Structure 1
Amino acid sequence: MNLFSNFFKKKQTNSSQYTDIISPVSGTITNIKDVPDEVFSKKIIGDGIAIKPSGHRIVAPVNGKIGKIFKTMHAFSIVTENQIELFVHFGIDTILLKGKGFEKIASENQIVSAGDIIIKYDLKFIIKHAKSILTPIVISNIDQIQKIKKYSGQAIAGKTVIMKIKK
């Protein structure tokens, strides 16, 4: 049974189509290999891109269902209707901030639309207290993905397509 059937009007994506992933934060798109944490840079938990943020909010990168929002509010997971699993992790070692600088807006298991605000953050505070603000956006079920198209340049939260995923 498709748990999204009651929430989405659109039928499940055909496997030959791409799913657009929009930027969850405004900023500059960078290579995942540039993230100063081997878990991300060596693609241990999946492949994707990173963004050096310039805004103050993290939005849903796709229509989907929020999975886990970390207690420290620095990261969350989301699953699309066609079962693409994404993980958004704001900064590196931001877990050590214990939630300071973050404000949770969405809830776990909430159905969201691309662009809905998930978390607000204080960029100046986080820059001052975290190892890095580079924000990985990772496809965690990469073994089920056929192809990823990655984009570069500037991104606007909730508007700019940063990746296209073919499942």
Structure 2
Amino acid sequence: MFNRLISSFGLRGRCNVLLSPIAGKVIPLSDVNDQTFAAGLLGQGVAIEPSGNKVVAPSDSKIEAIFPTGHALALHTKEGLDVLIHIGLDTVKLDGRHFNVKAEVGQTVKKGDVLIEFDRDAIQSEGYDVTAPILICNSVEYASIKGNVGDTVSELDQLITARER
């Protein structure tokens, strides 16, 4: 009864859902073997141990940044989430090898559009961890960020819920 009363006054924040841009197993950000990501210094979120070889737009979005090496991109979703998708750890050192960027900075993309293709096996064979942190960079604007840790997700499955303040 009390929860309904609170909701009727609009005191509970709305939830924004981020769909998964990558297929794979969802792990806690704290398990990522990189202190910057694990400590949440760039934002809250989760990481994915990829089972596929592409990154898709998790929502209708605008591409805000793409690293020249193709290993990471930032986008702003129509729901208001600022998202960083980072493929692998230290993969900037690959200098673009094994990454094929399909989007451009400033481009408006639709949910499901392919943004980056990557060769997971080649990246691993060069000794790199392919774990992909998915961060909500404006997480301070939200009361909570909750990821589906432990799930195995396909592209566009529910990944993160951000509850507004």
TM-score by length of 2: 0.87
Q: What is the aligned-residue RMSD (CA, Å)?
A: 1.4
Residue 9 of structure 2 corresponds to which residue in structure 1?
Answer: none
Gaps of 5+ in 2: 1-11
Residue 131 of structure 1 corresponds to which residue in structure 2?
Answer: 128
* Contact 1:97–1:130 (CA under 8 A) maintained in structure 2: no
Alignment match of 2:44 (pick from 42, 47, 56): 47
Larger Rg: 2
Gaps of 5+ in 1: 1-14
* Contact 1:94–1:130 (CA under 8 A) maintained in structure 2: no
* Contact 1:24–1:59 (CA under 8 A) maintained in structure 2: yes
Alignment match of 2:118 (pick from 93, 117, 121): 121
Alignment match of 1:18 (pick from 15, 19, 33): 15
Identity of aligned pairs, percent? 30
Superposed CA offset, 1:130-153 (max 9, x none)? 431110000111211122221131
* Contact 1:66–1:108 (CA under 8 A) maintained in structure 2: yes
* Contact 1:20–1:62 (CA under 8 A) maintained in structure 2: no
Superposed CA offset, 1:20-66 (max 9, x none)? 11111111001101111111001111110000001011011222111
Quote the Cα distance in structure 2 between the aligned partners of 1:18 and 1:116. 23
Quote the Cα distance in structure 2 between the aligned partners of 1:46 and 1:52. 19
> For 2:96, what is the secondary structure of its paired residue?
coil
Residue 33 of structure 1 corresponds to which residue in structure 2?
Answer: 30
Q: Tell me the number of residue pairs that the alignment of Structure 1 and Structure 2 aligns.
A: 152
1:112 CA drift (Å): 1.2
> For 1:99, what is the secondary structure of its paired residue?
coil
Query: In the superposition, relative to structure 1, how do residues 130 and 65 fare at CA in structure 2: closer, same or farther (>3 Å)?
Result: farther
Residue 146 of structure 2 corresponds to which residue in structure 1?
Answer: 149
